[in-house]
Amino acid sequence: MDKEKTFPPFFGVPVSLKDNVLYKGRVSYVGMIDPINPVQGEETECVLLIKKMGLIPFVRSTTPQANKTFETNNNIFGYCKNPWDEGRSCSGSSGGEGGLIGSHCAPIGIGNDIAGSLRSPADFTGIFTLKPFYRYSNIGLAKAGDFSGGLFLRPENGVYSRSIDDVILWNQFMYDK
């Protein structure tokens, strides 16, 4: 008698990660010419949760310098163009993620938000997201100096997708973990 094998909700789905999500064996630039964080030695909590959901990290997305502008542009990768109109922006600071998901280069992606960095790129590129306001951990984000402005402003990790159902499933899993 074989037991039925259960798979995690996003088993085998590739996921893109914003450049400030620390990932084992990778450097985080956070839009700066010099790396902000050296090669990561261990998996961070964020990536462990992503893998627990069955997702496979496969690409990193660009960010503005130090993640602190509403337009994604830096001296490494240049200007992040909107997939619907290359003369327009994807917004920021998760604009690289918005552009990847909006242009169908990734089915789901991880960004983060303090003052609109999830919501604004979603609006600019026609995809779905939700700022989960302290719903789950933000441990595992590269920091480009302490520009947060205070204790109550911390980046919130969130998911991007072209489907609202994926955003709902993601948040149900994160809430139940």
> Structure tokens of 99?
């552009």
The answer to whether residue 117 is catalytic is yes
Q: Which of 16, 94, 117, 161 is catalytic?
A: 117
b/e per residue, 156-173, with b = 16+ CB within 10 A?
Answer: bbbbbbbeeebbebbbeb
Residue 158 and residue 136 in contact, taking contact as beta carbons nearer than 8 Å: no
For residues 168 and 165, give the distance between their C-alpha atoms in angstroms, rounded to a whole number.
5
Residue 37: HSE in the Cβ half-sphere, 13 Å Cα cutoff: 22
Catalytic residue among 18, 68, 89, 161: 18
Catalytic residue among 28, 89, 93, 161: 93
143 is catalytic: no
Burial of 48 (0-12, 13-18, 19+ CB in 10 A): middle
The answer to whether 93 is a known catalytic residue is yes
Residue type, 150: G
- What residues have CB less than 8 Å from 144, skipping those under 6 apart? 20, 30, 31, 32, 36, 65, 66, 67, 68
| Catalytic machinery residues | 18, 93, 117
